[in-house]
């Protein structure tokens, strides 16, 4: 929509501060460069011309975690790297979000062994799990837009960590434990 002095009845723009801040935050999620393995190459490809993540406001990959809002954990996380991941996450300023890109980051994937952490959610809270090995750039963009929808809805002035913990606990209490879900394996 184009708004200037010629637009009829222009001059007023009403909305809640919360929605405005959410809108602005969602449109400029700056990722920290946390490329680990194969997925990081697809993450880089997402930033370049064929896919162009800048259409969604996230092309500014920051080397410093202090300037970033989003951590895309791209690839398999080894036990040796795990403390560093946590340190970088802790250095990021609130509010912050995490996309776990690829199966290795999400669950350990095919590397079910001594070296790899079986899911980065052991180390940091994850907002979006993105499957694929590696996920295509389109899938990463989809994950990003899905996260943006969540960010837009996120209320202000709340400790995000408490909120996630409470939401996760509520969801876990409500859900049928997977150990009780018989006969669904296909």
Partner 1 sequence: MTSGNEISQVAPEGRTLINVRTGMFGATGDTTGYDLMNTVVTMPGATERPYGSWFDDAVDILAELLGDKADEAIQYVVVDRGELTLHVAREHLLDVVRHLRDDQDLRFEMCLGVSGVHYPADAGRELHAVYPLLSMTHNRQLRLEVSVSDEDPHLPSVTSVYPMNNWHERETWDFFGIVFDGHPALARIEMPDDWVGHPQRKDYSLGGIPIEYKGAEVQPPNERRQYR
Partner 2 sequence: MSTTESFTPTGAFTEDPDAAEYTVNGGDWTDVAEEAVRLGQQRIVMNMGPQHPSTHGVLRVMLEVEGEIVKEARAGIGYLHTGIEKNMEYRTWTQGVTFCTRMDYVNSMNNEHAYVLGVEKLLGITDDIPERASVLRVLMAELSRIASHLVAVGTGGNELGGTTIMTHSFTAREEVFRIIEMISGLRMNNAYMRPGGVAQGLPEGGVWRIRDMVTKVRGYVDEVADLHLKNPVFVGRTKGIAKLDLAACMALGVTGPVLRSAGLPYDLRKAQPYSGYEDYDFQVPTSTDADAYSRTLLRMEEIYESLKIVSQAADRLEGLGDGPVMVADKKIAWPAQLSIGSDGQGNSAQHIRHIMDESMEALIHHFKLVTEGFDVPAGQVFQATEGPKGLLGVHLVSDGGTKPWRAHFRDPGFNNLQALSMMTEGGQVADVVVAIASIDFVLGGVDR
Distant-in-sequence contacts of 180-185, Cβ < 8 A, 24+ apart: none
Within positions 21 to 80, which residues make up the interface with partner 1, using CB under 8 A?
79-80
Q: Which of 1, 2, 16, 50 binds partner 2 (CB under 8 A)?
A: 50
**Residue 116, beta-bridge partner list:** 78
CA distance 151 to 85: 22
For residue 49, the partner it binds in partner 2, partner 1, none, with Cβ less than 5 to 8 A by kind, is partner 2
Q: Which of 19, 110, 165, 168 binds partner 2 (CB under 8 A)?
A: 110
Is 139 an interacting residue with respect to partner 2 (CB under 8 A)?
no
For residue 76, the partner it binds in partner 1, partner 2, none, with Cβ less than 5 to 8 A by kind, is partner 2
Is 68 an interacting residue with respect to partner 2 (CB under 8 A)?
no
Is 67 an interacting residue with respect to partner 2 (CB under 8 A)?
no
**Residues contacting residue 13 through CB under 8 Å, at least 6 positions apart:** 3
Contact 46, 140 (CB under 8 A): yes
CA distance 134 to 24: 30
Binding residues for partner 1, rule CB under 8 A, total: 16
Both tokens of 39, joined, read: 């997925």
Positions that interact with partner 1 (CB under 8 A): 79-80, 108, 112-115, 118, 178-185
């Amino acid at each position: 929509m184009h708004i200037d002095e010629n637009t009829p009845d222009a001059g007023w723009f009403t909305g809640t501060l919360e929605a405005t801040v959410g809108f602005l935050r969602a449109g400029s999620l700056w990722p920290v460069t946390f490329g680990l393995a194969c997925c990081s190459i697809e993450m880089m490809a997402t930033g370049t011309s064929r896919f162009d993540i800048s259409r969604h406001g996230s092309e500014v990959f920051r080397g410093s975690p202090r300037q970033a809002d989003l951590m895309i954990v791209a690839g398999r996380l080894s036990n040796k790297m795990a403390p560093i991941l946590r340190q970088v996450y802790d250095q990021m300023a609130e509010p912050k979000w995490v996309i776990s890109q690829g199966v290795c980051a999400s669950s350990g994937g095919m590397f079910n062994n001594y070296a790899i952490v079986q899911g980065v959610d052991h180390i940091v809270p994850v907002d979006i799990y993105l499957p694929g090995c590696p996920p295509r750039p389109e899938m990463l963009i989809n994950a990003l837009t899905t996260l943006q929808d969540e960010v837009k809805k996120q209320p202000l002035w709340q400790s995000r960590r408490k909120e996630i913990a409470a939401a996760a606990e509520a969801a876990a209490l409500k859900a049928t434990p997977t150990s009780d879900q018989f006969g669904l394996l296909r």
